[in-house]
Amino acid sequence: MKRILWGKNQVRKALESGVVPDVLLLDSASPDKELRGMLSPTKFGRLPVYERPRAELDAISRGGAHEGVLMISGSFGYSDLEADVLAKTKSPATLVCLDEVTDLNNTGSILRTAAVFGVDGVIVTKDRSAPINGIVVRVSMAATELVRVAKVTNLARTLDALGKDDGFNVVGLDASAEKSLEEVDLTGNVAFVMGSEGEGLRRLVRERCTQLAKIPMAPPLDSLNVATATAIALYECQRQRAKRA
């Protein structure tokens, strides 16, 4: 499981004992000179310190007395799809499914975006997907601690079950789709499927989608970075739901 420490004494002791942090979060409004001195490059060397609003530290520590500092390190604990993700979704639910997305920066950005839009869970493939490591934690600004990520062996089979058994509109993002994203009803339960860098959606995965949708683009460009496309899809989903409410 991912190790999360907070509070000045706990973080200091961990650093003194040689723990290498994936990321250190500092309350951006903290005036604590002692704390800032502890995290300066002259104390323990250059550390992966990011200043974030106190509300984010509160959310990650689940209300713990973090005193303006929080450390995340260690291996990542994946969630169980049925017990931890599907059983705890909101209504309407939103999932993001990554079809062999391997780039660490893209994965980190997608997890950050998923946290911003309150996504219920992210589904990744067991093989040929980016590991949730320190780079992903840093790029996501520790959003890895706010989003449930489930790993599945067969994404095509999982999408089939989501569409037939769990009532999800499984929407694959594909530049060759006939419909644009704004033409697809995203107000119910939606599982967005995002293809890998360069290859896009695999054939079996594409065939399991309920609908395919494209993001309109001005020529001559005909594709978007997968992280950017995910952000646009989630925004459009939120826009449609807000308009209907």
Does one domain contain both 57 and 123? no
For residues 135 and 110, the answer to whether their CB atoms sit within 8 Å is: no
> Sorting pLDDT into bands at 50, 70 and 90, what band is 1?
low
Per the structure, the count of domains in the chain is 2
pTM, 2 dp: 0.85
Q: Which residues contact 218 (CB under 8 A, 6 or more apart)?
A: none
CA distance 12 to 18: 10
Give, rounded to a whole angstrom, the gap between the first and last alpha carbons of the chain.
38
Does one domain contain both 111 and 230? yes
Does one domain contain both 88 and 51? no
Residue 134's domain is classified under what CATH number? 3.40.1280.10
Does one domain contain both 97 and 200? yes
The whole-angstrom distance between residue 70's C-alpha and the CA centroid of its chain comes to 19
Could you tell me the CA-to-CA distances from 182 to 36, 130, 211, 212, 238 in Å, in that order? 46, 29, 12, 12, 11
**Domain final position from 22, 49, 73:** 73
**Domain final position from 56, 73, 90:** 73
Does one domain contain both 199 and 85? yes
> Which residue reads 């520590």 in tokens?
61
Which of 32-41, 62-71, 106-115 is most confident?
A: 106-115
Residue 48's domain is classified under what CATH number? 3.30.1330.30
Does one domain contain both 142 and 171? yes
Please name which of 186, 22, 196 lies closest in space to residue 98, comparing C-alpha atoms: 196
Residue 141's pLDDT is 82
Residue 157's pLDDT is 98
Tens digits of residue pLDDT in 61-89 = 888 889 999 999 888 889 999 999 999 99
Q: What is the mean pLDDT of the chain?
A: 93
Does one domain contain both 196 and 144? yes
- The distance between the two most distant Cα atoms of the chain, rounded to a whole number of Å, is 58
Does one domain contain both 65 and 91? no
Does one domain contain both 229 and 207? yes
- Which of helix, strand or coil describes residue 15? helix
Positive or negative: CA dihedral 139, 120, 182, 155: positive
CA distance 68 to 222: 44
Does one domain contain both 28 and 92? no
Does one domain contain both 237 and 166? yes
**Domain final position from 54, 73, 92:** 73
Residue 125 lies in domain: 81-244
Cβ atoms < 10 Å from Cβ of 223:
14
Tens digits of residue pLDDT in 146-156 = 899 999 999 99
CA distance 27 to 237: 31
Each residue of 97-120: b (16+ CB within 10 Å) or e?
bbbbbbbbebbbbbbbbbbeeebb
Does one domain contain both 192 and 99? yes
